[in-house]
A and B are shown apart, each in its own frame.
Chain A
Amino acid sequence: MSGIYVHIPFCKAKCRYCDFASFPDKIGFAESYMACVYREMAMRSNELKSYNFDTLYIGGGTPSVIDEKYIAMLVAAARKNFNLAENAEITIEINPGTVSAKKIETYLKCGINRFSVGLQTAIDSQLIEIGRIHNLKQFEQCAKLLKGRNFSVDVMIGLKNQSIADIEKTIETAAYSGANHISMYALCPEDGTPVYTDYLNGELPDSDEVAAMYEFGVKKLRQLGFERYEVSNFCKKGFESKHNLNYWKRGEYIGFGVAASSCISDTRLTNTFDLDEYFKCILSNHFAVKDSQKIEEAERKEEFIMLALRTSRGLNLNEYKTFFEVDFLREFAEKIQKVREYTEVSDEFFKIKDEYLFVQNQIITEFI
């Protein structure tokens, strides 16, 4: 399995927790930017001729903020330059404050078959607090437009002044909206973002409180029919995100656009975070790669383990053997012994016990 990722670095306003590459004041460059993305795809086309792609993920920023025709052209460009499967999973991230019936219609027409909607919280005051541009009502309208479609909703925990009741309302809102997939993320205050100041001021819930919110969320989601299949991802049976599962299997993927990452034939690439530089590179027919790193086998193993253990089913022992031609349980016998209280071994899988999934760094570092 292999995936394609495209980064759309525009949005209406920067959320207070956001440290991704996104430029609210440069939305006027959208057309030129998209032209560059199509060109970047064309530049990689030949090199990736032998690859079969199963997923396309359009993320951001806010992809839904730009004119939908560019999105349609993007999907077409992907199909033109790469072997993208007929039934490929094609996802777009959308912000409830930026959609319309016409937009959704265009998306569907061009082949997009999965939507990821950023709700974050169902409490309007908290939406304002974190700098989102939408409110609960807009989310509900958005959900109506997506009725019967395959869509996911993002929610957040660990927000300032957030109570367990707020989380309950948010999860219920997401679940009753018709979504078949919910991502529940703990707020991560990154240095340099406005919420980091809140964190320094002690205004955010501490790690024990966040853990309690998480445990509550996991339980609530299960009651509503959403099973956890990765630390932060929950879905109704059969609705896992194929694109993301590929990351956790340490599959190959190619990224396009500012700040996009790729992992192709054991080399990790990251594009420049600088929009101007991206333009300059692509317009002069150069790749916009800022960082390129060959990953040696020992590190590939570490990556494989660290990614696989994020998932509920755990590390697939047969896949490990196929990849590395060595038996995982034998190779790491001593370390597995050390963490035996927190893990489970079955015929096919080595996994972190459900109750320890949220403290997995402590366990994974044993394998690094």
Chain B
Amino acid sequence: MAKKSNIRNFCIIAHIDHGKSTLADRLMERTGQVSERDMEAQLLDSMDIERERGITIKLTPVRMFYKAKNGEEYEFNLIDTPGHVDFTYEVSRSLAACEGAILIVDASQGVEAQTLANVYLALENNLEILPVINKIDLPSARPDEIKTEIEDVIGLDASDAPLVSAKEGLNIDDVLEAIVTHFPAPDGDDGKELQALIFDSYYDNYKGVILFVRIKEGCVKSGDRIKTFRSDKIYDVVETGVFAPNLTPKNGLFAGEVGYIAASIKSIQDVAVGDTVTCADAPCAEPLPGYKTVQSVVFCGIYPLDGSRFNDLKDAILKLQLNDASLIFEPDSSVALGFGFRCGFLGLLHMEIIQERIEREFGLEIITTAPSVSYKVVKTDGEEVFIDNPSHLPPLSEIEHMEEPIVKADIYSPPDYLGQIMDLCREKRGVFLQMTYLDKSRVRLEYNLPLNEIIFDFFDAIKSRTRGYASFDYELLGYERSKLVKLDILLNGDVCDALSMIVHEDSAYARGRTLCENLKEAIPRQLFEVPVQAAIGGKIIARETVKAVRKDVLAKCYGGDITRKKKLLEKQKEGKKRMRQIGNVEVPSEVFMQILKTNKD
């Protein structure tokens, strides 16, 4: 074990694609944590979805040993962080477990929206920040300009920033040395009462909940009785250990160290991430400074495609929640879709990932409804309610006014695309705040935007209008009064509750028309004509018609055709199974989510 003064706990923060995981892999490889031939691409990203999408979702800590130029051996604990805006909370959790943060900036792209967002988080947590300029091997690299940019925009001294290429393994030693010299050793006293911060947890089928902790004060070893501050339950520690990078038992974790505790904890609900673990027999007086509670930003309904699999869906969501405390849900039911869940997510990416994991990891086919935000409804009797499900909106007569969540958006882009970005923000009801030139090739635009305008396709739109050059980040500001209406969709004369949405009055007509057009394309022809209508408060504002099918038969069916005909009908039957019966209309399950994405752009 290293002396406390030789421990360095740090994380890496970066804008997406600036090379965080690659640098982490390189550090591990250089410290002999893994040999090159054992390296699977991007070690820290262990979930399939993470590798495929090139993103990090779950935190994965790892311990390394490094022999510095001064001859001493150091223990490094690297705590990886997610890069996406949706996972700000996860980032802040891991930051609180560290003393330092490596800030990676791409040598050709420079400071981006998430770079700044992450730096602010690190500063809030009093972390020492070490800027590292990556991708210097690229022909377009301009490290000197980027150094100036870091100094001007962020206000960090970047004169000594290591210039590296994580991909090529260039100058990695400079980073390792800088970790030793730049970051402080942890403080804390092994003899004090135990005070450990839970920065993550996951559920293991054999060991129960595994707590990822940073020991701030005191020590913990197997056999100890521990408790958390939030609940009074007491657990016996079964195992402690470190991340090497797989869980490796080590008896005893001491102040300053990062590791894990297994204590046969059965339910993840009993241990909130951000809570403090202490000794049950000699507890510390105060918990560590708390975290902000996670707030769901985006909501949607999730229903099993096959209604009889509601319980399987429930199990799946419960299991996912074991590893992802930020996923919230409650049972919900819809006239159109039956029994399911209303789920809350950190953002759109988080929502997509959960949906994908339910389908992949649990083999369940699901129907998801269009995402919604949470609206504040002030009723005529003065009562305030938050509504994230359009079908729960009180009757118009009871609504005094409605408010919608507003975000402050930061957009970084080359100046060539300013026009397109400003057009887009205007279409999305954005309020321009200010524009700053970072240098001659980069502009920062700040806007206030309604959250419900950016949850559908804003990110895609901004990427496509700027050929991928712009970056975007946002934070919630609060609620603002707005003229909102509920847009209903009627199929064959009946309102389909799962398709209702809350939209701004000014865009309601256009939305209604587009929705009807999209639905007309998406709903297959049935044996009868199906009118598709959009309505606001009972008034029809748009209509399309799905014509009745007129030919649906195999011309010939003799001895040799029977097997083939059977297969054809079975295929048709399979297709039907993917449909939901809404009244007497059969609607493909994708419709509920898909129609909103095809908002013609």
Contact = CB atoms under 8 A, between A and B. Distances in A.
Contact of B550 (A261, A262, A358): A358
B560 A255 contact: yes
Given A261-B562, A307-B562, A361-B569, A247 B557 contact: yes
Contacts of A232: 555-556
B572 A365 contact: yes
Interface string B185-223: 000000000000000000000000000000000000000
A265 interface: no
B565 interface: yes
A362 B548 CA distance: 12
Contacts of A48: none
A247 B570 contact: no
Interface string B525-551: 011000000000000000000010111
B559 A211 contact: no
B360 interface: no
B573 interface: yes
Contacts of A306: 565-566, 569
B601 interface: no
B560 A365 contact: no
Interface of chain A, main secondary structure: helix
Contacts of B526: 362
Nearest to B547: A208
A231 B559 contact: no
Contact of A211 (B551, B557, B573): B551
A186 interface: yes
A83 B366 CA distance: 57
B433 interface: no
Query: How big is chain B's contact interface, by range?
Result: 20 to 34
A244 B526 CA distance: 30
Nearest to A356: B527
Contacts of B570: 368
Contacts of B559: 3, 5, 247, 253, 255, 260-263
Interface string A172-207: 000000000000011110000000000000000001
A198 B563 CA distance: 27
A261 B560 contact: yes
B1 interface: no
B569 A270 contact: no
A289 B559 CA distance: 15
A303 B569 CA distance: 11
A209 to B, nearest CB: 9
22 contacts: A187-B555, A207-B549, A207-B552, A208-B550, A210-B551, A211-B551, A231-B553, A247-B558, A247-B562, A253-B559, A261-B563, A262-B559, A299-B566, A303-B566, A341-B527, A358-B551, A359-B527, A359-B551, A359-B553, A360-B553, A362-B552, A368-B569
Given A302-B566, A361-B572, A365-B576, 16 more contacts: A3-B559, A186-B551, A188-B555, A207-B551, A207-B552, A231-B555, A231-B557, A248-B557, A255-B559, A260-B560, A268-B562, A303-B562, A356-B527, A357-B553, A359-B549, A363-B527
Closest 5 CB pairs of A and B: A211-B550, A211-B551, A261-B560, A207-B551, A185-B555
Interface of B: 526-527, 547, 549-560, 562-563, 565-566, 568-570, 572-573, 576
